[in-house]
Amino acid sequence: TDEFADRRHLIERSGKLGLGTAYIAGFKWAVAEKYDYIFEMDADFSHDPKDLPRLYKACAEDGADVAIGSRYVSGVNVVNWPMGRVLMSYYASKYVRLILGVPLHDTTAGFKCYRRKVLETIDLDAIRFKGYAFQIEMKYTAYKLGFNVVEVPVIFVNRVEGTSKMSGGIFSEALFGVMRLRWAALTGKIKPKK
């Protein structure tokens, strides 16, 4: 017997359409279902489910609108990653922080809790990026729309299952996408959903 049958929902899509579009499909479903808090996390155990209550508390009790499970807010909390990957991720977040002027240490993290109003306010159809830059764009958009975005320290453990999707194309999307995001902010194109 499956005790979670009525609480677990699966959205199946045909083909590989990108990380960002998968999350947006899930976000739209969760908003339509009127969930108050929506979580985003990897399913390969690199994000510890035991940290979920801490992200929830940051939003439900401590006033955050978005809580990020951050690898870098208190040093470098990464286990079993090759040093080159750690350095690339760490300095990528520093680069994003510098270019966008966003006060976050882990701008590429994919472990988050959103209040529903954040996902209702962001124009999800206007989110441009599909790969890792999607993570940056969602955080930056929430920040620019005036939401309280906080970081909760977590330990990231390198994936137990599966393989990394990181590629040169994804990396360049993030690198140049940050400049496009900065330009969008300067030209007033980051707006709430109408």
The per-residue pLDDT of the chain, averaged, comes to 88
Q: The whole model's pTM is what?
A: 0.89
Q: Which tens digit of pLDDT belongs to each residue from 109-131?
A: 999 999 999 999 999 999 988 87
- The secondary structure of residue 126, as a DSSP letter, is G
- The two counts, helices (H) then strands (E), for the chain are 6, 6
Cα dist from 138 to 16, 30, 187, whole Å: 20, 16, 18
pLDDT at 77 over 70: yes
Concatenating the DSSP letter of every residue in 1-46 gives: --TTTTT------SS---HHHHHHHHHHHHHHTT-SEEEE--SSSS
Burial string for 7-44 (b: 16+ CB within 10 Å, else e) reads eeeeeeeeeeeebbbebbebbeebbeeeeeebbbbeee
**Spatial contact of 116 and 31, defined as CB atoms under 8 Å apart:** yes
Alpha carbon 49 to chain centroid, angstroms: 16
Q: What pLDDT score does 169 carry?
A: 58
When pLDDT is averaged across residues 88-113 and rounded to a whole number, the result is 90
pLDDT tier at 184, thresholds 50, 70, 90: very high
Residue 59 vs residue 194, higher pLDDT: 59
Q: What pLDDT score does 45 carry?
A: 80
Q: What pLDDT score does 1 carry?
A: 60
Q: What pLDDT score does 149 carry?
A: 98
pLDDT at 83 over 90: no
**Spatial contact of 37 and 115, defined as CB atoms under 8 Å apart:** yes
Q: Taking the alpha carbons of 184, 187, 192, 194 in that order, is the dihedral positive or negative?
A: negative
Tokens of 101: 């002027």
Q: What pLDDT score does 2 carry?
A: 81
